[in-house]
Structure 1
């Protein structure tokens, strides 16, 4: 069922219009032409036929015939000139074939699998913790779309390998230097038909050459012909490919080209604005389903915020290549989270005040700069100075947070603690030497061992994670407490980190604690991530935080001091 026709009647004319969809165009163009005596004018910009009032009944009859043929979902006759549209989200399909998995999926997970089997190239947009991994594995397993390539963050490669074995009983091979030139043999000898790599290794394994050109395009890339072996590709944390300019995004696009199943997994497909979807649609070969690049940008990326007609975009995404479910609606047995924001005095107040004064003086000096080159240099310097503020605040919170951690673990409970800076993690590790860590400095094996120990060892009470390395993909349901000594700029990143505990298997209410340095940039960040959520909410039906322009935001934060 596709887009609705709308019929508008005025005293002297009659207009048949419709929400754009490529498959409807030719049908609509033919409607008045069946009878040669009908005088009509097709208005391309409005995507509508205008006919004389005398021919209105005939045209309406032909339009209704199109409904009967399945070209549109409804006809509405209106006495105004406003074209209306029904953007209600359709019901998810039901899975009617045996899933063949080693564990029984939830009903909503079966519906997600059914959706992916129907649409084949789509975005799994469920909230974190609802089992997008299981649904993707179920999709390629039922479709028998092998060999399959999984592209994921480096820290999640072992997790994907384990999940395929757990859910489908299938072995998966992690690509490395040892099998770089021979991985296809594992498929040819029927030893393995699932292959896993990370974003940073795509060039090493699947690109022979990137030609030197003035502009980096798909034509610049000479791919390894072995990519044609894959029938399906699963792209985890697919929002990492949102930029149309990065090599990694282009590599993924090239590898995904021509694949029968393309599964993009991300709970945050829109981070900044509607342009974030362009590269994801390209990867799925879906951009033409939205009218092509020119129409998409004109229709959905208009205005200063580059986010227009969000309800229509949301509806069209659901119709073609996207689904998303909220925890509260589909997983009632999963408890809700409780968030607490605790403002604490920092022990580095003098150092912080000095750094803040330095930033304000810098902003005051360059606030009226209009030279483009000066402005670019200024933006880089401001980001550095803001990083210094965050560093000083974080160091100043260590003692207070350590006291909180002692209270939790000494009481016999486990705790997940997120930080960002290496120095902060190191200092916390000195205070809690028995804690395990997941950071960028840990190897893949060390990270997995840390997760396993935290999940399985009753004596392991604390895990300290860098939210870039451990904020996504990991399951840490052994704890129902998550604390942040430092936190990201966006609500979606905070939620992703929280959901390491708030996942399938968690039977307790999850308490999340955010430590804010009093009168520091932490409080400003808290205000921002709680109040700027509108764009992503309109497009995907989520309350994900939209990342703000850092420099303009900083000017606003300190405006009253300039």
Structure 2
């Protein structure tokens, strides 16, 4: 009989000969090994900053606890008492892990489903299994560090529109005219040195206040083409690209317009076609921004298998989640530039996502002599300085083992080696001069308004999103039917009725609004609530990115289930949060406020628009996420004013999450048409919107008008 207490999936163990020997093996088995390891982790975390060795041990113990729990629950040879006792011991170990992670919330990220298991964690895990008497299963052979594994063949696709483009340009060839520019520099002193470690270390050694941004030229103008006027810090990057600079790690804080800078830098560099790789939550926003800043450049967004893309577009936007399906044809498309948004997504260079990105970057650099490569992130470092490595590889500054030609040349020019004291500041400056740009809101405060709203459109492309759009069509059909009955009644009474009668549209919309409530069938109220629930995860993900990038964030929602979903997401991402709700006692409410304001480990406060929209001071944050829309601009402005208050020292940005291709977009247009979006974006005008009843009726009228127009 196998050892019932310590059997592992993927591992084997010699069976004990009797129960007495089994008890002895259990006493020296996996649970005691895990208990000793978790105490070591607890002690190390209490001592201060968590070293990499402890992080690796934390990940190994967490994975083993997870696997052992699954095994114990499924083991048919355990009786209820045995199973309960082992699960109780595992819970104790997990509790200590959680308490340790509460001291350093970044530890939670090591146990996320997509977290990459480091080599050191894998080794520690095998050592603990061996110490427990378990023979670990052989590990699969890893691919070479400089090779990107092919995506599964059955997932790769080539959209028909891409085939059409290839047939239209059958002789498109790579440009190797400037291959000499990529030749290895003449190396003398540094040819035998290991330099990647010292380069990374040079950033750790930098003193407070050390320059962290390359020098950029003064812009000749803030007006680029016929688009909106740029802010000075944006125009500097565009001017740099126009002057010939081709690689940028653009690490501006959120809210400083990195998207516009990237698009106009591509225009200045002639870097089209341009590939843009982004998180799913912002890909629709990229298409909208491209239409705003580069309206003469066709843009296409890849959804799923890409059946509806424009193969002749100048700008191709794809999200990380579907990159594996398209990496094949993207590598041969002939891109002259590539932008990586939220570039910290590739911090783990061994993940499949990162390997695809790095392979595409290498193919673009091989096919074109001087492509534009831009890594955009407000969070260049998530855990430690090693997170720089993959981003530098994407930009071509280093490869898997050594600096690239341009960086090596700069290091040789210093005349120094890592043994020289002056090497580290010189090396750091050499990297910065390759293209690191970092500006904070407070650094460019004169360029930006004291308060602004930035819209983030999101695609609801799952089953719930499709269900919402079908429900909207049902609502529109009901409105059309009601309109037709009313029109027929008017004609019978001898009144003339236009095919699209604005007066009648308004009356039908008002009737619909007055005769329905949130509890009676599918209507404007239930539609908005369903959209809010569908956006919750995307809004929370974006908030988590902000919290890791710029610190504390205030998250507003209208409904309790959206708040619950957001808090669950934050917990999963290892971000501590608190909440302010309508059903709290005054004491509980104040405790939540104090926790957010005073505890540096609390990154997000989840607020009810109705319960927390007034009477609070949350100016410890300067970023607000509006996960659900209000019916009036006044309500959302009151929410923003919890942060934008006297004493606030930083510009405030409110990120409004909008579900594209739904009534959400209509509502926000109605609100902005009355409040004046331009005034709000420039000077924070508090112009009154009018009653929420008016917006609801107009939203229904817009839905009806659109349906009548499509039918006409």
Pairwise TM-score range, normalised by the shorter structure: 0.3 to 0.5
More strand by share: 1
More helix by share: 2
Larger radius of gyration: 2
User: What is the TM-score when the length of structure 1 is the normalising length?
Assistant: 0.43
